[in-house]
A and B are shown apart, each in its own frame.
Chain A
Amino acid sequence: QKEVEQDPGPLSVPEGAIVSLNCTYSNSAFQYFMWYRQYSRKGPELLMYTYSSGNKEDGRFTAQVDKSSKYISLFIRDSQPSDSATYLCAPLTGGGNKLTFGTGTQLKVEL
């Protein structure tokens, strides 16, 4: 089983839609759950992160973690064409800063 799995997409949605991006992981030692956004041929850019289980909201973005099922979600409200990118989940063990990236989900928000 892969350590971190994401549906690669592409996921196409109309502008204004609510987007749900998901990620599963296998390593119980992961405690921090990062979401990065990567535009084509650019470096990953941190969107937000959560610690342990629960929700965290930042503007139009909400990150959700369910450690019992090892399931991570990122919700984007009122999606915009500028949100079109690949979204990478990257969990992390406590005390470490070596990121383990998923393959990423490619999102396209269409006008």
Chain B
Amino acid sequence: EPEVTQTPSHQVTQMGQEVILRCVPISNHLYFYWYRQILGQKVEFLVSFYNNEISEKSEIFDDQFSVERPDGSNFTLKIRSTKLEDSAMYFCASSAGRNLDTIYFGEGSWLTVV
């Protein structure tokens, strides 16, 4: 079964450092997303990406966040200057189209900011 893969599975970083979380979406998918889940809280939408540009973003996705699809396979989330409150599980997802049953999530990257 196709899957979304994410690296790293866990990263510990110091406050103020830059972090890049990587995702390899399912190969024929066109829409890409990042969500995050702070421990014990709900999964929250960060950003969606289509046709090499952001199609929608939440208020959480401020100037310290950026996304990029640097090549044909990877989709990255960069956090420029991490804060303690950025500690969370970050999920990448992808979908073939706007069909609702084609959104697949990766297993997540757990980010701990110390």
Query: A residues bordering B, Cβ < 8 Å?
Result: 32, 34, 38, 41-46, 49, 88, 92, 95-104
Contacts and interface: CB of A to CB of B under 8 A. Distances in A.
Contact of A43 (B31, B91, B95, B98): B91
Interface of B: 4, 31, 33, 35, 41-45, 48, 56, 89, 91, 93, 95, 98, 100-101, 103-108, 110
Contacts of B44: 101
Contacts of B35: 99
B56 A98 contact: yes
Interface SS majority for chain B: strand
Given A44-B43, A102-B42, A49 B91 contact: no
A2 to B, nearest CB: 9
Contacts of B56: 96, 98
Given A34-B100, A97-B98, 7 more contacts: A32-B100, A38-B43, A41-B108, A42-B107, A43-B105, A98-B45, A103-B42
A49 B107 contact: no
Contact of A46 (B45, B103, B108): B103
Contacts of A45: 105
A88 B43 contact: yes
Contact of B41 (A42, A92, A103): A103
Q: Which of B43, B45, B108 has the most CB of A within 10 A?
A: B43
Interface SS majority for chain A: loop
A103 B37 CA distance: 10
Nearest to B57: A98
Contact of B48 (A88, A98, A100): A98
A28 to B, nearest CB: 19
Nearest to A51: B100
Contacts of A97: 31, 33, 48, 95, 98, 100, 103
19 contacts: A32-B100, A41-B107, A41-B108, A43-B4, A43-B91, A43-B105, A43-B106, A43-B107, A43-B108, A44-B43, A44-B91, A96-B56, A97-B95, A98-B45, A98-B48, A99-B35, A100-B45, A104-B42, A104-B43
A74 to B, nearest CB: 16
